[in-house]
Amino acid sequence: MSDLQTPASSPTAGAATSDAPSTATAASNASSAQAAGGRTFLPRNTLLRHLLVLVVCAVAAVILLESTDLGFNAQIGYVAFYAIAAGGLTLLTGLNGQISLGHGALMAVGAYTTALMLDVDEPLPLIVIFLAAIVLTSLVGAVVGVAAARLHGPYLAGATLALAVGLPGLALYFRDFLGGEQGLTVSSPERPDWFVEGIRTLSGNSASGVKWIAYIAVACLLITYFLLANLMRSRVGRTWRAVRDQEVAAELAGINLGTWRVLAFLVSAAAAGLAGAVLALVVRLTAPTAFTIVLSLSLLTAIVIGGLGSLLGALIGSALLVFLPRTLRDAGESLNMDAAQAAEISYVVYGVILVLVMLFAPAGLVGSIRLAWMKQRARRAGARTGG
């Protein structure tokens, strides 16, 4: 198979056609435009460039975790598992154009796998457990993907919605094995000595269990985003975009639409599985009430508000999911509302903010900034050729 260059995957075309199906779509292609544009201090090679970004982000994450208190460390854990799942979903929805309302249920698969595998006398190493969670969730994802590959738009949403509604019910049905409504408590893995020593020499902070979990969560997030970013910028990513934007052209070019859709679902399920595993560690409990349709919708909210198709957007959207409601609630309480009023108001304001973002930045926060930047560049380029 030759290196597929369909019109939509070519960066200039993506940027220039302002009447593209979705502005968000065009925006999601922007950084490959940047890469091709060439005038940047980053290495040209995608893998090297992403490795460099990974190292910088890892250093930044350590500085962030060590300069903030434990409470903030704990919150970072929540951002991380939302962001891992949102990253996978952004690949599926942003890159491949499939909508899933079932990713919360896929997270449940990963979370329950982790809870069950940790709940033995001598649990396997955490990395093995995480890999098992990923593999098992990918399998479920592949099965759903096969069904989903034939469906479009609202039909696909409906099918995955059934997953979100039905899967948590399994925990109730297999009550003895999966703990029923009250769920399975997750025994926290012991923090290793090298970690305690390392943190002490690094920052002088004491390494509590909360910090250990936060580091695991952040490490998983960085690795996931590194892999997803490479995938999205590779030939595979371009093919997914082709399947999304130019179905007929893609098929004429010899792409099997179904296979590629299933593959996208599988990759995004893998991310959801890891996110569920991290959730289990962070929350310390897996119960059906945690994996309702609300979770799936929250993930969609995160990727839409952040900017469809952008990993940075998924991360920002996840951070908003965690921090915006509590910030609003604290603001409400400082206005002398009681906690119940503040909690209710925070959801109202949260909703209003979401609507405003949809109205004024339909490409999401990151997408809109990228669009503005691209327009400016195009204008400058236009001025150059004109003059």
Q: How far is the C-alpha of 386 from the C-alpha of 173, rounded, in Å?
A: 69
Q: Does 215 bind other proteins (CB under 8 A)?
A: no
| Candidate ranges 45-53, 115-123, 135-143, 179-187; the one touching other proteins (CB under 8 A) | 179-187
- Choosing from 228, 229, 262, 290, the residue that interacts with other proteins (CB under 8 A) is 290
- Choosing from 322, 328, 369, 371, the residue that interacts with other proteins (CB under 8 A) is 322
Of 145, 180, 175, the C-alpha closest to 159 is 145
| Candidate ranges 46-54, 55-63, 176-184, 248-256; the one touching other proteins (CB under 8 A) | 176-184
Q: Does 183 bind other proteins (CB under 8 A)?
A: yes
Of 309, 335, 369, the C-alpha closest to 98 is 309
Q: Does 169 bind other proteins (CB under 8 A)?
A: yes
| Candidate ranges 47-55, 114-122, 167-175, 303-311; the one touching other proteins (CB under 8 A) | 167-175
Q: Does 170 bind other proteins (CB under 8 A)?
A: no
Q: Does 196 bind other proteins (CB under 8 A)?
A: no
Instruction: Pick between residue 5 and residue 289 the one whose CB is nearest to other proteins.
Output: 289
Backbone φ, ψ for residue 279 (5° rounding): -55, -45
HSE-up of residue 317 (Cα within 13 Å, Cβ side): 34
- Choosing from 190, 197, 251, 344, the residue that interacts with other proteins (CB under 8 A) is 344
Q: Does 181 bind other proteins (CB under 8 A)?
A: yes
Instruction: Pick between residue 146 and residue 349 the one whose CB is nearest to other proteins.
Output: 349
Q: Does 197 bind other proteins (CB under 8 A)?
A: no
- Choosing from 248, 340, 359, 383, the residue that interacts with other proteins (CB under 8 A) is 340
- Classify 97 in phi/psi space as left (phi over 0), alpha (psi -120 to 50) or beta: left
Task: Calculate the CA 154 to chain-centre distance.
Answer: 22
Binding site for other proteins (CB under 8 A): 69-72, 74-75, 78, 169, 172, 175, 180-183, 185, 187-188, 209-210, 279, 282-285, 287-290, 292, 294-295, 322, 326, 329, 338-340, 343-344, 347
